[in-house]
Structure 1
Amino acid sequence: MKKFLLLALLFKISTGFAQTQTDDYFKLTRSGFNEKNAYATTAFVEQYFRVPGNTGFNASIHYVEDILKKAGFIEQKADEFEAPLTYRIEKRPMKRNTWEPVDASVTIVGETQALIAFKTNRNMIPINCPSTPADGVTAEVVFVGKGTAQDLEGKDLKGKIVFADASAGRLLAVATKAGAIGVMGYSMPKYTQPEKHQTSIQFGNMPANSSVWSLLLSYSVKEKLKAACLKGKVELKVNIQTKIYQAEELTLVANVKGNVNPNERFVYSAHVQEPGANDNASGVGTLAEMARLTATLVKSGKMKPQRTLTFLWGDEIVSTGRYITDDKERAKGIMWGMSLDMVGEDTQKTGGSFLIEKMPDPSAIWTRGNDKHTEWGAGDVKEKDLFPHYYNDFIFDICKAQGKFAKWTVNYNPFEGGSDHTPFLQNKIPGLLMWHFTDVFYHTDNDRIDKVSATTMKNVGVSALTAGFTLVTANENTATQTVAQVKADALVRLQTEFELSKKAIAEGKAAADEQHILQVWGKWYTDALATIGNMAVKPQTTKVGSAIKVATLEVEKQTQAYISELK
């Protein structure tokens, strides 16, 4: 009965505790976020194969620039705080040439219909692939199985096309040395269900300045070509047209100036490169609408940011990392970072669900119970890598509130890395990822606008913007309410881990190891509570500090009680 009452109390605290600021911001963002705008931007961006410096990447940057200008952002001339709303496009010479695909087709000699063509499979051309002569090339294709040494033994590849039921990249060096003119390969992970989605190709790349071209094949094309090769000699007509040229790399940065502590800021980041609609045209479109709405609310006086909100569009990880490290003084004021990546999924078509990828907490080390890593893959997180902070639970609780309101499914996954949240974490700045997985069309040329949901983009945008608004205007009440929320979340987590550890001990696991897990979780949460001390724009340390102290003692007491019971 006591346990039941505790759970009921925790549920009431975690779900019914009102956040005045957050509730007010939810009303503004829910009524103001125009999902049609976000969808239109996504549709524009996704039509291009985007690589830094190329036509599609730059067109996307300028499309968002136009949105910002219409919203009231002024191009920065000297200082990012010279006006309440400013933007700039940073231009940098690229160390290597940019690249973009133009067209491609492969036809079996003797057949009239192309085996595969760029207009239906634009990921067939790997990034950095050179062109064939303008009229294409015709050559015999040699099937080499899985491309092992045994498969290649005795094969005459000079002047021919190497075809493998394996990654094309694996065979480039061998093919080049053997005098082949090109390589064709196939490699798709199981979670993309290639035997079901037989036309999918995941985009890839190859070394720049290669003398040998390569192409990537879908499951259906690979099977058809393999069957033809096993029957006898096959010749292919291959035509590949790409552009390789010098260019500048563009990064778009917009700022909404904080009125009290402008050098303290919340930074949103959405990467432009990659050719997909969900990945990551949806992030670009959602963030553009978030910036537009923010400008509208600021100009109307409905939103008065006390810290700065920064919106960034650029090259994944590179642009965000550079933004943090290029200006050490600016970096000192970055209090939170958020990556919007693959945020527009129509999950009925793509699978998976919306996820918040947490900063490294103990679930990244001991992944059990409802904690699950995605097929993207777990990172190698050690205890020294843990990042205790209120940000994990704060963002998750806001997303859960939106989920309840909009009947939107919200989940989370332990830290894995690989997107724009990682540069924040590497520089000791709290950073989270909003995304979706598993997506059966991840990185494939079937990641098109028909797989995007405007409603999902609105749910993500509303949650992300409400969180940012709350944090850049946080006051003493916001901080004390967050203490109560994080404490409630901590107690629920501790009970969950306690039950899992009891079961593990019953199944033969060492009690000392299970006690250690509880101890680490307890410390993670007490350390997270301590970070709430600087949440408020104008900290009133007595009230907030007292709340943190009381909550910390409660979490420590419960942790020790569970550890003792595990003995």
Structure 2
Amino acid sequence: MKKLLTLSCSLLLLTAVKAQTSSSEKKYAKILEKTFNEQQAYNTVWFVEQRWRLAGNSGFNESIYQVEKILQQAGFTKETNGEATGILTYRIEKRPLKHVTWEPVDASVYIVGDKEPLLQFKTNRNMIAMYSASTPAAGVTAELVYVGKGSAKELEGKDLKGKIVMAETGIGGVYNNAIKSGAIGAIAYSMPRYNQPAKYTNSIQFQGITYTDSVNQKWGLLLSYAAKEKLKAALDKGPVSLKVMVNTKIYTSEELTLVANVRGKTKPDERFVFSAHVQEPGANDNASGVGTLAEMARTTAELVQKKKLTPQRTITFLWGDEIVSTHRYIHDDSVRAKGIKWGLSLDMVGEDIQKTGGTFLIEKMPDPSAIWTRGNEKHTEWGGGELKEENLFPHYFNDLLLNRCLNEAAITGWVVRTNPFEGGSDHTPFLNAKIPGLLMWHFTDVFYHTDADRLDMVSPVEMKHVAKSALTTAYLLTTANDKTATALINDITRNALQRLQTEFDLSKQAIQAGGDKTKEQHILQVWCDWYVKALGTASDISTGGGGKTVQQSIEKGQQQIKEQTGVYISQL
């Protein structure tokens, strides 16, 4: 996957939402605290993170089948005639991969003359670039040639035939240029600043090279900061030769997607969809999402069987290839897609924040903070693209999930923050299909995408916080009557008024600093319009269709927002 930041009114929201926790929410929070077993979630993370996972490879498939066992033990039955065959069902969808899959087996790099390896796979499991071919079993020995950033111009005129090329850049480009020039392989160093490579000197981020064919494919290796510095120091003293051994598997396979359903009683075609991607080799990214979601499914099945939960809408749990599987789930069945009301992605949800530095975040759907990112709002180091007003997605889902997380935080001290929309994970296919979609994740993580993302970086307690908040959100939205819907709408109205207060204060500061008054008034108006429209979407919260009291709550909230905005704009 992809990806610190606070909603400027988070502390205000925390106080307000805590006071407004509904009886339904209290009930769900209590039973989830007892029923969700964070150790079982952690055990699944342990199983999954041992495997280097890419769609179609053995590690990916073994992880899927491990989750299947958990579902079976929880009471889910395999579909025979489609989703309508039972309350708790699952299926594994199988499709031929359009391309070959790949998995690493072993690798080592020695500087000729040294007894100890420069790198070896058992301690740096990301050192082999994805889709690298194997060397002969005994390895290869060749001279190392340093080419700076590895551009075609820097390689021009150099004798690279039969040699190993080293560059300080991503492996993809230098590999292509090196192989075209007759090199037998390429070695590269490229680490983002947020990985703090000069501090964590042995970390390596995974990368890949282009696959051509079984005959012409060569290999690429990735360096840690320490390995890169050692090689450069050796090159400063004279010629360097390396002995390289790479062992990988490249083969045709099939893509697996696991889908489990807890069928809604009265509106089974309307659904809340959870997703967690299986591919990527890390513990937090994303074995923690896989393990958390597996335990969430088990927990939900137990509550349904004990009649402590009766969803009126369907709750779907999906495990697969990031973005690919969620996109397909939405687009393969147009009738099913019409009933998808919410999508929530779990990606990097288990981080021990004391070790990784990653803060728990909700990545919001596009709201005005993605255009005017100010105050305590910040993008992550992942970064956000340019959004325009026509790209905004007004919906109550942002605040509804945030409020559930803040309620959990009020009880436990959990740190909850948000970031403006950035994209790059399983929430984006939902948004692209105009379906409300959110992401629960952690960033900035100094071990993100590196081989230091292992089990000891995962917190069972953190996974439980995420799971309780996510499941409470789903349970409320799949069981809500008019009373619950009205309470949630009132919460969102308070959120809107608090946000307007925050933006008003920021606009006053901007004008006092010489900012344009018309622009600041416009920002307030856009926030007003966003929340008015967001409240308008709340008519679908109640499973009963939303009666008079629900509509009155929406209209009252919209009026309050408009009136307050008018006051603020007049005071600028």
Q: What is the distance in 1 between the residues matched to 2:473 and 2:11?
A: 26
Does 2:395 correspond to 1:392? no
**Residue 515 of structure 1: aligned partner:** 521
Aligned to 2:254: 248
- 1:541 has 2:539 as partner: no
Q: Which of 62, 69, 72 is residue 69 of structure 1 equivalent to?
A: 72
Deviation (angstroms), 1:368: 0.2
Paired letter, 1:187: S
Shift in Å, 1:151: 4.2
CA contact (8 A) 2:286 2:348 kept: yes
**Whole-Å separation in 2 of the counterparts to 1:420 and 1:211:** 31
Residue identity matched to 2:438: L
Q: Percent identity?
A: 60
For residue 429 of structure 2, the aligned residue among 403, 418, 423 is 423
Q: Tell which deviates more after alignment, 372-381 or 91-100.
A: 372-381
> 1:509 and 1:288 mapped to 2: Cα distance?
50
Equivalent-residue separation in structure 1 for 2:12 and 2:424 (angstroms): 38
Q: Determine which of 111, 114, 124 is the counterpart of 2:114.
A: 111
Residues in 1 aligned to 2:23 and 2:97: alpha-carbon distance in whole angstroms: 47
Aligned match for 2:170, one of 163, 167, 171 = 167
Q: Do structure 1's residue 181 and structure 2's residue 184 form an aligned pair?
A: yes
**Counterpart in the other structure of 2:328:** 322
Tell which deviates more after alignment, 174-183 or 348-357. Answer: 174-183
Indicate the larger mover: 27-36 or 160-169.
160-169
Partner Cα separation in structure 1 for residue 12 and residue 147 of structure 2: 65
How much has 1:108 moved relative to structure 2? 1.1
Equivalent pairs counted in the alignment come to 560
Distance 1:242 1:258 in 2: 45
What does the per-residue CA deviation read over 1:69-93, in whole Å, with 9 as the maximum and x for residues that have no partner?
Answer: 0000000011112011000000000
Q: Deviations over 1:442-494 (max 9, x none)?
A: 00000000000000001101111111111100110111111211110001100
2:147 matched to which residue of 1? 144
SS for the counterpart of 1:387 is coil
Q: TM-score, normalised by structure 2?
A: 0.96
Structure 1: tracts of 5 or more residues without a match: 1-6
Q: Which residue of 1 aligns with 2:205?
A: 202
Shift of 1:148: 4.7
1:150: how far off?
6.2
TM-score, normalised relative to structure 1: 0.97
Cα distance between partner residues in 2 of 1:148 and 1:128? 21
- The alpha carbon displacement at 1:11 in A equals 7.6
- Which of 271, 279, 283 is matched with 1:265 structurally? 271
Of the three residues 344, 353, 362, the one matched with 2:350 is 344
Contact 1:195 1:219 survives alignment (8 Å): yes
State the distance in 2 between where 1:10 and 1:406 align.
Answer: 16
Give the counterpart letter for 1:50 in structure 2: R
| Structure 2 alignment gaps of length 5 or more | 1-9
- 1-structure distance, mates of 2:467, 2:183: 50
Matched letter for residue 202 of structure 2: T
Q: Is the 8 A contact 1:254 1:310 kept in 2?
A: yes
CA distance in 1, matches of 2:188, 2:431: 36
Alignment of 1:35-114 (within 5 A): 35-114=38-117
Partner amino acid for 1:55?
S
CA distance in structure 1 between the aligned counterparts of 2:27 and 2:518, rounded to whole angstroms: 47
Partner Cα distance (1:11, 1:470) in 2: 19
CA apart distance, 1:149: 5.8
Q: 1:406 to 1:71 in 2, by over 3 A?
A: same
Give the drift of 1:563: 1.1
Out of 254, 273, 276, the residue aligned to residue 282 of structure 2 is: 276
The residue that corresponds to 1:558 in the other structure is 564
Q: From the superposition, tell whether residues 413 and 446 of structure 1 become closer, same or farther in structure 2 (CA, over 3 Å).
A: same
Name the counterpart of 1:3: none
Number of the residue aligned with 2:7 = none
Letter in 2 for 1:96: H
Which residue number corresponds to residue 477 of structure 1? 483
CA distance in 1, matches of 2:508, 2:271: 43
Residue matched to 1:412: 418
The answer (yes or no) to whether the contact 1:49–1:275 under 8 Å persists in 2 is yes
Mark the CA change 1:88 to 1:535 in structure 2 (over 3 Å): closer, same or farther. Answer: same
Task: Return the alpha-carbon distance in structure 2 between the equivalents of residues 353 and 248 of structure 1.
Answer: 36
User: Residue deviations 1:225-259, cap 9 Å, x none?
Assistant: 11111111111111101000111100000000100
**1:458-497 matched pairs, under 5 angstroms:** 458-497=464-503
Q: Partners of 2:324 and 2:236 in 1: how far apart?
A: 45
8 Å CA contact retained: 1:180, 1:212: no
1:379 deviates by: 2.4
Residue among 149, 153, 158 paired with 1:155: 158
Once the two structures are overlaid, the 10-residue window that deviates more, 403-412 or 172-181, is 172-181
Among 188, 193, 196, the residue aligned to 1:193 = 196
- Measure the CA separation in 1 of the matches of 2:11 and 2:95: 56
Q: 2:227 aligns with which of 221, 227, 232?
A: 221
